[in-house]
Amino acid sequence: MKKAYMMIGMIMLLVVLMGAFLLSGNENKGVTGNSVNGEIVEAKLWVEGGNYVMTPSTFKKGQTVRLEADVSRMPGCSKGIVISEFKVQKVFTAGDNTVEFTPDKAGTFNIACSMNMYKGTFTVLEDDGTKSNYVQNSPTSGSSCGMGGGCGCGG
């Protein structure tokens, strides 16, 4: 009789452990709120020749974008980005170099540094994959820090 209780106890423990294992494997898979089919698209961001480079640079409306910055390739104020159309503001650091946003409209949009000196663009396609004619107005020319310093944009 003692063996039977021990066996039942072992089976119950095994079932509980298997259930916990299966449930834990579903965390962060396809549960992204406003993303398309639960998909998060990862994009890399850095600065080249004074401009932001984002790859990939085309996304779909409603698709969650996780932007990962290569801060080693982002001088000075370029680490502070603004994507005004989607209310994104972020200062990247080596320990905090990602930001997520979900574009809710299609077109070509701007990304700029917080001082409007470094600039770039990316495209958001319609739900059906077609390109919109909308192009966000370019920000006016960037401010100058005088290159003498003080603002940190020189490096």
Backbone angles phi, psi at 6, to 5 degrees: -65, -40
In this predicted structure, what is the pLDDT of residue 138?
A: 82
Q: What does the pLDDT read at residue 154?
A: 47
Q: What pLDDT was estimated at residue 141?
A: 56
Cα 151 from chain centre: 26
Which residues are within 8 A (CB) of 13 and not within 5 positions of it... i.e. 6 or more apart? none
> Which pTM value belongs to this model?
0.69
In the chain the first and final C-alpha atoms are separated, in Å, by 76
Token pair recorded at residue 3 = 């063996």
Q: Which stretches in the chain have pLDDT values below 70?
A: 4-38, 139-155
CATH 2.60.40.420 fits 36-125, yes or no: yes
CB-side exposure of 137: number of CA atoms within 13 Å? Answer: 3
Q: Identify the pLDDT of residue 58.
A: 97
Question: What's phi and psi for 5, nearest 5 deg?
Answer: -65, -40
Q: Determine the pLDDT at residue 1.
A: 72
pLDDT for 2 equals 72
